Amino acid sequence: MDKSFQKIRNDFPILNQRINNEPLVYLDNAATSQKPNQVINELVRYYQNDNANTRRSVHTLGERATEEFEIARKKVQVFLNAKDSREIIFTKGTTDSLNLIASTYGEENIQAGDEIVISYMEHHSNLIPWQQLALRKNAVLKYIGLTKDGQLDMEDARRKITDRTKLVSITHVSNVLGVTNDVKKLAIIAHSHNAVIIADGAQAVANIPVDLQDLNVDFYAFSGHKMMGPMGIGVLYGKYDLLKSMSPNQYGGEMIDSVKKYHSTWADVPFKFEAGTQNVAGVIGLSKAIDYLNDIGMKNISKYENELVKYILPKLLKIEGLTVYGPQDTKNHNAVISFNLNGIHPHDVATALDMDGVAVRAGHHCAQPLMNYLGVTATVRASFYIYNNQFDADQLIKAIYDTKEFFNV
């Protein structure tokens, strides 16, 4: 990497604090990543210098804000290797993006008896919209099963995706199991049955290179706040012809072509999906976050996280009474690691770890069907990122042993 670890670490001021008189070890990156000074300063710069509504003014501030907004759209296109910047729609986040598809493409194309295929590892944001769409349309919702080590069962995927399947929606990287799904292969299967495929990229875009031309998915959704950008900003990618065929999901300013007393026509893609005042600061902050990620290099980030997994996973697997969910080998497990300590509720484990300054997540991680599939009510989740290192991993191990000692297990 061009940037040393310490230089990266110094870019994140929030990490330079103590929690319960211990150095903060932030391992809740799958929920939200921390923000570097470069992103924070960019937000301040925009509000102090360029704050204006986009596409609504001919004055200088409005023109500058509009230019930065559209530069960001182009930057997202290049970052994902989309064909056209018009295929990039700004939303509030992954949840908003997936609901947009369900309420437009889904409403217009799913009929009674059609099949919608998802998996047991989906986040609620990539489950409930399809569940509710299936209920409204009297469609059939089907779940792809998992292998014994928590990976997507591709043979079951081939059985579940049929000629009656109209839509497949799958997570690119699981927020619980530490696996990366073969979205490219799933896209081939889905398209062979004339179904569209959607990928939830919330856990992917910050951690691995994403090439939409290679994956060949029809829609892709992600959130800025998981990739060092601001909260409240996200992206929906859709193939242009599909977006062109869809109706708007919201109505109001800036998404129109012409408004008459009794009928209206809509602007072209992407503007017909961006009604009202947009989160301009969020878009500009996301743009700067992409600059930061590109400066490090996505391949470098992925490689660095793999090295951390090789260091921490074997140590976790050696702890008596600790169960790791998902693959048990470092080759197939990414930097999201979910586990439980026998005899201790996950919330108690997370509280105890916090006493040692280690911030993790505990609960069902918005994946209750997966928890039921695994036979648990909740797990503890530690998720690593580019500003974590072996010291952080060792602190997690130490805190787990302290927790075991405190609870006498």
Q: Which two tokens stand for residue 51?
A: 């704050």
Sign of CA dihedral 383, 237, 228, 355: negative
Tell me how far apart the alpha carbons of residues 51 and 57 are, in angstroms, rounded to a whole number.
12
**Beta carbons within 10 angstroms of residue 214's beta carbon:** 12
Contact status, residue 348 vs residue 356, Cβ threshold 8 Å: no
Please report which helix (H) or strand (E) contains residue 89, including its range: strand 88-91
Please spell the DSSP secondary structure of 161-212, one letter per residue. --TTEEEEEEESB-SSS--B--HHHHHHHHHHTT-EEEEE-TTTTTTS---H
Tell me how far apart the alpha carbons of residues 328 and 269 are, in angstroms, rounded to a whole number.
44
Catalytic residue ranges: 366
For residue 381, the one-letter residue type is R
Tell me how far apart the alpha carbons of residues 379 and 330 are, in angstroms, rounded to a whole number.
20
What percent of the residues of the chain are helix, what percent strand, and what percent coil, each to the nearest 5? Answer: 45, 20, 40
Tell me how far apart the alpha carbons of residues 385 and 199 are, in angstroms, rounded to a whole number.
22
Tell me how far apart the alpha carbons of residues 123 and 368 are, in angstroms, rounded to a whole number.
8
Give the Å distances, CA to CA, from 336 to 73, 80, 190, 207, 385: 29, 22, 27, 11, 9
Mean per-residue pLDDT pooled into runs of 10, the chain (409 residues): 84 97 98 98 98 90 96 98 98 98 98 98 98 98 97 98 98 98 98 98 98 98 98 98 97 94 96 96 98 98 98 98 97 97 97 98 98 97 98 98 95
Tell me how far apart the alpha carbons of residues 277 and 400 are, in angstroms, rounded to a whole number.
47
**Beta carbons within 10 angstroms of residue 329's beta carbon:** 13
Q: Is the peptide bond before 270 cis (omega within 30 degrees of 0)?
A: yes
Q: Which two tokens stand for residue 42?
A: 């960019």
Sign of CA dihedral 332, 154, 223, 357: negative
Tell me how far apart the alpha carbons of residues 76 and 199 are, in angstroms, rounded to a whole number.
16
Tell me how far apart the alpha carbons of residues 271 and 284 are, in angstroms, rounded to a whole number.
17
Task: Fill in the DSSP letter of residue 3.
Answer: S
Which strand ranges, in their side-by-side order, compose the sheet holding 140-144? 88-91, 234-238, 219-223, 196-200, 165-171, 115-119, 140-144
Contacts (Cβ under 8 Å, ≥6 apart) of 370: 120, 121, 122, 176, 177, 364
Give bridge partners of residue 383 from the DSSP assignment. 28, 336
Give the Å distances, CA to CA, from 121 to 10, 132, 150, 234: 35, 18, 9, 21
Task: Fill in the DSSP letter of residue 324.
Answer: E
Give bridge partners of residue 337 from the DSSP assignment. 382
Tell me how far apart the alpha carbons of residues 60 and 42 are, in angstroms, rounded to a whole number.
19
First to last CA, the chain: 41
Contact status, residue 177 vs residue 121, Cβ threshold 8 Å: yes
Tell me how far apart the alpha carbons of residues 380 and 357 are, in angstroms, rounded to a whole number.
15
The alpha-carbon radius of gyration of the chain (Å, integer) is 22
Tell me how far apart the alpha carbons of residues 349 and 402 are, in angstroms, rounded to a whole number.
10
Please give the model's pTM, rounded to 2 decimal places.
0.97
Domains of the chain: 5-30+297-407 (3.90.1150.10), 41-294 (3.40.640.10)
Tell me how far apart the alpha carbons of residues 346 and 348 are, in angstroms, rounded to a whole number.
5
